[in-house]
Amino acid sequence: MSIESAEPSPPTSPAPPASPTSHTPPTHTGAVGPESAVLVLEDGRRFAGSAWGARGRTFGEAVFTTGMTGYQETLTDPSYAGQIVVQTAPHIGNTGTNDDDEESARVWVAGYAAYAPSRIVSNQRATRALPDDLARDGVVGIAGLDTRAVTRHLRSAGAMRAGIFSAADAALDPAEQLALVRERPSMAGQNLSAGVSTTTTYSRGAQGERIGSVVIVDLGIKAATIAALAQRGFDVHVVPESVTAEQLYALQPSAVFYSNGPGDPEASEHHVELLREVLHRRTPFFGICFGNQLLGRALGFGTYKLPFGHRGINQPVLDVRSGRVGITAHNHGFAVDAPRGGPVQTPAGFGRAEVTHVGLNDDVVEGIACLDIPAFSVQYHPEAAAGPHDANDLFDRFRDMVLAAESDGMQAAIAVESAPTSGAS
């Protein structure tokens, strides 16, 4: 994969319409084509449907997401690269798409499956229809299949390799289709950051009072993350995933941030070693999603693949220190293997750390705080543009950590997460 846009920064949005009556949403009705399509899983299960979006064949890891809103944010989230996304919500596409809600410059999913795509667009903010975006970016989709059955199967058998075959490819011999699926690599062991990261450094200035600068290592960054940090007074510098420590520190950052992204954290040793340099220098650090997994590995903990992952915007997470529960947005298939129950010495020699957040559905580690260096991370998405926003204050905590480091010294910065004064999650 490669970024096709020549512009490395997130897409800019056109001026909104003057009023609802001054804009006529598209009335595209070709949500589903007449051709047949089939979703083929590596264990041999097949689900018939109709062609949707681009025609042809595509391969990836079949996963499901439970979000009932925010399908455009899902599609343009680089964390979904390499995955065929199955929507559990049946009705998809009714609000169309627009430039304002894109999280990156293109659709990243490897394939897309839904039960009942909308035949019309019914929102005054829409400038085009969902199938137009799928076709534009060459995303092969399938509609009309039994997404409930697919989801139930993946919940019992686990996420697995899959392929969508539509139009002429749907007529291939089933044995050939299955063989093509099984030839594809599994998600475990894949390093996908290079395919979704920016190729050049770009910057966005702080909004309001400037408090410092943050370097974001782009492992699959979303536009909402950049906006959240700029809104809190950071000059934001987004750098390629291949950045070296020398290049990173040439930007003189007040803090470092690791973004979300696709792939197996075990295959991202460069990012782990880079992060260890950041931790050794005691630069304030915050990581989300993939960044949480990489902090775990940098501290010496392991990571493992979840059976079917967490994907959706309704995941309950417990802050074990305050007892507060937040409803959060997730998109991850791997997790950190770290001891719960209080502080432990980190195997890599960075002092003490503790698990701060756990998922209430399956007790998965959802957050880590270091107690002797200024670093913390969460497994979920506090910037979730489509909601919920229960965890948005984590960006405030990061800001507080940087301010404390600059005004009161390192111990004050460490205390922001090692001894939080609020129950925010």
**Distance between CA atoms of residues 388 and 403, nearest Å:** 27
Inter-residue contact 257 to 217 (CB < 8 Å): yes
R_g of the chain computed on alpha carbons:
21
The pLDDT value recorded for residue 12 is 36
In the chain, which residues have pLDDT < 50?
1-31, 422-425
Amino acid at 182: R
Q: H helices of 145-252, where?
A: 147-157, 174-182, 193-196, 223-231, 245-249
The pLDDT value recorded for residue 178 is 98
Q: In this predicted model, what pLDDT tens digit does every residue of 271-300 receive, in sequence order?
A: 999 999 999 999 999 999 999 999 999 999
Q: Is the pTM of this model over 0.75?
A: yes
The pLDDT value recorded for residue 392 is 79
**Distance between CA atoms of residues 240 and 312, nearest Å:** 27
State both tokens at 255. Answer: 């803090």
**Distance between CA atoms of residues 317 and 47, nearest Å:** 33
The pLDDT value recorded for residue 29 is 33
Is 6 buried (19+), middle (13-18) or exposed (0-12) by CB count in 10 A? exposed
The pLDDT value recorded for residue 417 is 83
Inter-residue contact 57 to 86 (CB < 8 Å): no
Q: Are strands 36-41 and 46-53 parallel, antiparallel or unpaired?
A: antiparallel
Inter-residue contact 254 to 224 (CB < 8 Å): no
Bin 22: left if φ > 0, else alpha if -120 < ψ < 50, else beta: alpha
**Distance between CA atoms of residues 205 and 236, nearest Å:** 6
The pLDDT value recorded for residue 225 is 93
Inter-residue contact 329 to 312 (CB < 8 Å): yes
In the numeric block, the tokens 């990243």 are attached to: 108
**Which residues are annotated as catalytic?**
289, 381, 383
100-103, Cβ contacts within 8 angstroms, sequence gap of 24 or more: 100/13, 100/16, 100/125, 101/70, 101/72, 101/73, 101/385, 101/386, 102/10, 102/11, 102/72, 102/73, 102/76, 102/223, 103/10, 103/73, 103/76, 103/77, 103/78, 103/222, 103/223, 103/224, 103/385
The pLDDT value recorded for residue 61 is 97
The pLDDT value recorded for residue 2 is 34
Polymer length of the chain = 425
Nearest CA to 48 out of 67, 35, 64, 66 is that of 35
The pLDDT value recorded for residue 421 is 58
Q: In this predicted model, what pLDDT tens digit does every residue of 165-187 receive, in sequence order?
A: 999 999 999 999 999 999 999 99
Bridge partners of residue 327, in order along the sequence: 316
Q: Are strands 352-359 and 302-319 parallel, antiparallel or unpaired?
A: antiparallel
